[in-house]
Amino acid sequence: MSKLDASVQKLLQGKNFAFVSTVNGDGSPHVAPTWIDTDGDNVLVNTNVGTVKRRNMKRDPRVTLALTEQTNPYNLVIIRGRVVEEISGPKATDQLDRLAKRYMGVEEFPDRKLASKQVTLRIKPERVFTRKA
């Protein structure tokens, strides 16, 4: 396992988008932009239960995330890891609300019907690559 050092945690806690790559059933890659967070040790991705990325992660938990700092895209982090837990219910909705506050500047995610169908995926990093400029 790789640790998320302070600079990586700062990027994960900022208003930065990550591109999450999963493996489709036919072996081809699937990439999706997403909001991200961290609990300090893991990467947290909140997604809808019906997305391709979630279906792929349930079948094959291996993922790669690439993110750059919004204000300096030359600050790059690539994290390879595995989904180790799926959180649903109020905890996932609360996580989505925290992300909506960060990314949208609102107190809660505006579409409550969609918010009720969210899951938080906890990704344990196995390899972390960084590049700073």
* pLDDT tens profile 8-67: 999 999 999 999 999 999 999 999 999 999 999 999 999 988 899 999 999 999 999 999
At 1 the pLDDT is 54
Mean pLDDT of the chain: 92
pLDDT at res. 133: 74
In the chain, what are the domain boundaries?
A: 6-131
State the pLDDT at residue 115: 65
Question: How do beta strands 36-38 and 43-48 pair?
Answer: antiparallel
What beta strand segments (E) does 1-133 contain?
18-23, 29-34, 36-38, 43-48, 62-69, 72-87, 118-131
Asked if 132 contacts 11 with a C-beta cutoff of 8 angstroms, the reply is no
Fold observed for domain 6-131: Pnp Oxidase; Chain A (2.30.110)
Query: What pLDDT, on the 0 to 100 scale, is given for residue 72?
Result: 92
Which of 55-59, 81-85, 114-118 bottoms out in mean pLDDT, i.e. has the lowest? Answer: 114-118
Q: Does the structure show a pLDDT above 70 at 71? A: yes
pLDDT given for residue 78 in this prediction: 97
Closest to 42 in 3D by CA, of 29, 56, 61: 61
Confidence (pLDDT) at 41: 95
Asked if residue 65 lies in contact with residue 124, where contact means CB atoms within 8 angstroms, the answer is no
Mean pLDDT value of segment 88-104: 91
